[in-house]
Amino acid sequence: MRTVSNVVNDYPYVAEETRARVQRALDELDYRPNLAARSLRIGRTDVIALAVPVVDAPYFAELARELVNAAASRSYTVLIEHTASSAQRERQLFFGAASQLIDGVILSPAGLTADEVRGLFGRKPLVLLGERISDHVADHVAIDNVAAARTATAHLLQIGRRRIAAIGCKPNSDSVASRLRYAGYEAALREAGRSVEKSLVQASSVARDREAALDRHGGALAMERLLVLDSPPDAVFCYNDLAALGAIRTLASRGFRVPEDVAVVGIDDIEEGHFSVPTLTTISPNKRQIAEIALELLIAQIQGAVGERQPQEVDASFELIVRESTAGRAAAR
């Protein structure tokens, strides 16, 4: 019986001939292990949750794919949770029925406050993504949004653009990521001896929640407002790729050429931007690295290797990907 158990649990020190003989018997009996009993015995389910505010947003979908692949290589299963920016749904991961199914949570918070997350830390292994909560309340992985936005804006300056607009949330937005991206945009202009023109900074929409504001529709509407200015922009930095794609659509429908008349750059490097017309210049966060770092931090907590250490802040890498929306045919070649 012990040998059978060793094979079922993939114990490494079993002779290959013995393992094959036991596996044939298990297959003939159509044996399936009782995962609930196993979880009770070892105190783990080997299931983790990825909780995001908008599950169908391309960035989160692509990040989820990277996490699922990374987790599979470590024999973990990933439960994807769509929170719809609801604090209650985020809280249920720690107190609801789902909390009994998972060993830990990788959370992109949109509803909970920093104090609420601080109160949850320690109840269950937790890693935060994004920038909404980043004041050392839990392990946290994100790109440097200020540096990313500065890089995007500096690229527009380097190709000779002078009136550079920003499409996203306003500088006083409650979205930390948006405030940081505005700060990077402002820093790049200041370093070039320019100042921010308030009329060139447009919120992407008046949507009820900040996540929905940064979408194609919001970007298209913001671009409409920029084009009716007495002096329209000759370049636009968008806080994400979806808003940038909406802006490109408006420009095309109004007879403006991209990038000849207006250059456009976004952030996220979603797959859609590879196939838009023109293809989209973007800041590409290293999604694979984000997923792998978040997973390693979470597994360390699950396995109890964290001790009394302080929560870690980890900056993932990013790079500027130049495509047709700023380089035109040169990028295509």
Whose structure tokens read 């013995």? Answer: 18
Q: What is the pLDDT of residues 76-86, one digit of tens each?
A: 999 999 998 88
For all residues of the chain together, what is the average pLDDT? 85
CA-based radius of gyration for the chain: 24
The Cα-based distances of 284 to 212, 265, 322 in angstroms read 21, 11, 10
Other CB atoms within 10 Å distance of the CB of residue 92: 16
Q: Looking at residue 124, what DSSP letter applies?
A: B
Contact indicator for 79, 101 with CB cutoff of 8 Å: yes
List, edge to edge, every strand of the sheet that includes 263-267.
201-203, 164-168, 235-238, 263-267, 281-285, 318-321
Percent of the chain exceeding pLDDT 70 equals 80
Give yes or no on whether 44-143+286-316 and 145-285+320-332 have one common fold.
Answer: yes
Measured CA to CA, the distance from residue 250 to residue 125 in angstroms comes to: 44
267 phi/psi in degrees, rounded to 5: -135, 135
Query: What average pLDDT score do residues 295-310 get?
Result: 81
Other CB atoms within 10 Å distance of the CB of residue 30: 6
Residue 196 pLDDT > 80, yes or no?
yes
Query: What average pLDDT score do residues 234-261 get?
Result: 97
Task: Quote the pLDDT of residue 310.
Answer: 77
Contact indicator for 282, 238 with CB cutoff of 8 Å: no
Query: What average pLDDT score do residues 23-43 get?
Result: 54
Task: Quote the pLDDT of residue 211.
Answer: 43
The set of residues, in sequence order, having a beta carbon less than 8 Å from that of 13 and lying 6+ positions away, is 6
Task: Quote the pLDDT of residue 28.
Answer: 65
How many degrees, rounded to 5, is the angle at CA 149 between CA 143 and CA 152? Answer: 115
Among the residue ranges 4-13, 143-152, 169-178, 227-236, the one predicted with the least confidence is: 4-13
Other CB atoms within 10 Å distance of the CB of residue 15: 9
Contact indicator for 184, 149 with CB cutoff of 8 Å: yes
Confidence of residue 331 (pLDDT cuts 50, 70, 90): confident
Contact indicator for 224, 208 with CB cutoff of 8 Å: no
Topology of domain 44-143+286-316 in CATH is: Rossmann fold (3.40.50)
Question: Which H, E and C letters describe 158-188, residue by residue?
Answer: HCCCCCEEEEECCCCCCCHHHHHHHHHHHHH
Measured CA to CA, the distance from residue 32 to residue 10 in angstroms comes to: 14
Half-sphere exposure of 310 (CA within 13 A, CB side): 5
Residue 212 pLDDT > 60, yes or no?
no
Task: Quote the pLDDT of residue 65.
Answer: 97
Task: Quote the pLDDT of residue 253.
Answer: 97
Domain ranges in the chain are 2-33, 44-143+286-316, 145-285+320-332
Query: What average pLDDT score do residues 206-232 get?
Result: 80
Measured CA to CA, the distance from residue 281 to residue 236 in angstroms comes to: 11
Of residues 41 and 174, the one with the higher pLDDT is 174
User: What are the start-end ranges of the E strands in 183-312?
Assistant: 201-203, 235-238, 263-267, 281-285
Topology of domain 145-285+320-332 in CATH is: Rossmann fold (3.40.50)
Task: Quote the pLDDT of residue 123.
Answer: 80
Measured CA to CA, the distance from residue 80 to residue 51 in angstroms comes to: 6
Confidence of residue 296 (pLDDT cuts 50, 70, 90): very high
Of residues 27 and 35, the one with the higher pLDDT is 27
Cα-Cα-Cα-Cα dihedral sign, residues 285, 289, 295, 296:
negative
Contact indicator for 321, 97 with CB cutoff of 8 Å: no
Question: Which H, E and C letters describe 251-268, residue by residue?
Answer: HHHCCCCCCCCCEEEEEC
Q: Looking at residue 233, what DSSP letter applies?
A: -
Among the residue ranges 79-88, 92-101, 217-226, the one predicted with the least confidence is: 92-101
Measured CA to CA, the distance from residue 119 to residue 87 in angstroms comes to: 13
The set of residues, in sequence order, having a beta carbon less than 8 Å from that of 175 and lying 6+ positions away, is 132, 169, 210
Task: Quote the pLDDT of residue 213.
Answer: 59
